[in-house]
């Protein structure tokens, strides 16, 4: 009798295990809530994006979600420098988030086999170089392809153009990343004497083209050092803006061209060569007073969030959904000792460290990829 009563239950359990095996290595799909668990099955594919590997999966998802496909084509015979370059770029957390949330990420590694034959059968296929394409669900290119070491600026520009071509919203954090992706050759440093360096950061910092701000002192004079993109703005425009905002009455010149521009604008008697600057110990002062200081951000994001907090505007418009989730978790666990992220130069490392800590504190319930 006991055997007869147990038999149906045992049969049900056997069928359940055959559909969803629980043993180690039993073929179960990866747990996407756990750190270091990725849907991509080839560790040689660069970056930390969760790539789809089947073209039909990519096509179906593109159709159901209404998103373009971001297609990574990697030639196995051309690894080396190119792969290392893309590994770093496609591991940057905000790039990873943008690729995964705004597109359908699909990777193909060519090797002269079946995948190459599949590539030759799609529009514009058959290329044997390392490249990124952004396509519609039928694999028709939406914008010009990115080949070789195209750079983060090229990738972000293509992502923005592709989204705009489909009348899709481009999140603010993606536009901020694009501004920060400019090549170092177009960057210039300037120093502005101001009546208050915290005011200088929140008022001058959000100006177009400013990529970094550092408050400090030269002697007894408060100053703000900025790094700006010369292709977007100029030293003269920033100096004029600083004067219009009532921040500056004098000027510091770091080179002959700045001295010429400042002398024409303010008069040579108001232009001097600066001494050595001592950085302030509380940069991004208004951001520093909130729990947002624990969220890893790019420098431009931190500049804008600092200003938004001072002006009592919602700073979350500058953040990605994953950054917002981080902040919500931190805010709900204030008793923990969180690390101040202001001034951190390693966004990827800081992001990974924080997401793993959130995962541990939540008991495995919260994982922010």
Task: Give the tokens for residue 343.
Answer: 């001034």
Distance of alpha carbon 28 from alpha carbon 9, whole angstroms: 23
Mean per-residue pLDDT, 211-237: 95
Does the residue 43 lie in any domain?
no
Pick the closest to residue 84 from 47, 49, 48, 50 (CA basis): 47
Max Cα–Cα distance, the chain, nearest Å: 106
Does the residue 17 lie in any domain?
no
- The pLDDT, as a whole number, for residue 132 is 87
Mean per-residue pLDDT, 293-300: 97
Going 132 to 133 to 134 to 137, the CA torsion angle's sign is negative
- 133 and 73 share a domain? yes
Counting residues of the chain whose pLDDT is more than 70, the rounded percentage is 79
Does the residue 49 lie in any domain?
no
**Matching residue, tokens 């481009």:** 170
Residue 136 belongs to a domain with what CATH number? 3.40.30.10
Confidence tier at 120 by pLDDT (50, 70, 90): low
At 237, is the secondary structure helix, strand, or coil?
Answer: helix
User: What is the number of domains present in the chain?
Assistant: 3
Distance of alpha carbon 120 from alpha carbon 132, whole angstroms: 16
- 266 and 349 share a domain? no
Task: Give the tokens for residue 153.
Answer: 């600026």
- 163 and 59 share a domain? yes
- E-strand stretches of the chain: 69-75, 104-110, 131-135, 146-147, 187-193, 210-218, 221-229, 251-252, 271-272, 278-279
- 65 and 162 share a domain? yes
Where among 247, 279, 311 does a domain terminate? 279
Confidence tier at 37 by pLDDT (50, 70, 90): very low
Residue 211 belongs to a domain with what CATH number? 3.30.1060.10
In which domain, by residue range, is 126 found? Answer: 55-170
- 249 and 335 share a domain? no
Q: What is the mean pLDDT of the chain?
A: 83
Name 285's Cβ contacts closer than 8 Å, sequence gap at least 6.
198, 201, 215, 306
Beta strands 131-135 and 69-75, pairing class = antiparallel
Does the residue 366 lie in any domain?
no
pLDDT at 30 over 50: no
Taking each helix axis from N to C terminus, what angle separates 197-204 and 235-244, rounded to the nearest 10 degrees? 120
- 256 and 316 share a domain? no
Where among 170, 196, 227 does a domain terminate? 170
Query: What's the whole-model pTM score?
Result: 0.84
């Amino acid at each position: 009798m006991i055997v007869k009563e147990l038999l149906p239950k045992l049969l049900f359990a056997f069928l359940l295990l055959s559909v969803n095996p629980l043993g180690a290595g039993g073929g179960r799909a990866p747990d996407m809530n756990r750190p270091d668990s990725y849907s991509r099955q080839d560790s040689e594919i660069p970056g930390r994006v969760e790539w789809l590997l089947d073209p039909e999966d990519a096509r179906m998802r593109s159709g159901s979600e209404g998103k373009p496909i971001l297609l990574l084509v990697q030639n196995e015979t051309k690894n080396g420098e190119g792969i290392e370059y893309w590994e770093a770029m496609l591991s940057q957390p905000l790039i990873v988030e943008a690729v995964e949330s705004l597109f359908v990420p699909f990777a193909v590694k060519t090797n002269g086999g079946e995948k190459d034959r599949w590539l030759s059968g799609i529009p514009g296929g058959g290329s044997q170089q390392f490249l990124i394409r952004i396509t519609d669900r039928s694999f028709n290119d939406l914008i010009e392809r990115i080949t070789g070491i195209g750079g983060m600026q090229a990738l972000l520009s293509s992502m923005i153009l592709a989204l705009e071509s489909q009348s899709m919203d481009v999140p603010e954090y993606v536009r901020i990343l694009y501004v920060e992706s400019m090549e170092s050759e177009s960057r210039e440093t300037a120093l502005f004497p101001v009546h208050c360096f915290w005011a200088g950061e929140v008022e001058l910092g959000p100006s177009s083209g400013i990529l970094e701000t550092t408050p400090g002192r030269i002697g007894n004079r408060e100053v703000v050092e900025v790094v700006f993109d010369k292709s977007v703005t100029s030293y003269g425009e920033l100096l004029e803006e600083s004067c219009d905002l009532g921040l500056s009455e004098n000027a510091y010149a770091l080179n002959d061209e700045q001295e010429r521009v400042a002398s024409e604008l303010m008069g040579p008697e108001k232009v001097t060569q600066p001494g050595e600057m001592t950085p302030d110990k509380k940069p991004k002062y208004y951001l520093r007073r909130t729990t947002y200081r624990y969220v890893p951000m790019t420098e431009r994001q931190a500049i804008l969030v600092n200003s938004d907090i001072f002006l009592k505007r919602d700073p979350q418009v500058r953040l990605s959904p994953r950054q917002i989730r981080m902040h919500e978790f931190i805010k709900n666990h204030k008793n923990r000792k969180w690390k101040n992220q202001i001034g951190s130069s390693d966004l990827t490392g800081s992001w990974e460290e924080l997401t793993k800590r959130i995962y541990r504190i939540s008991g495995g319930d919260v994982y922010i990829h």
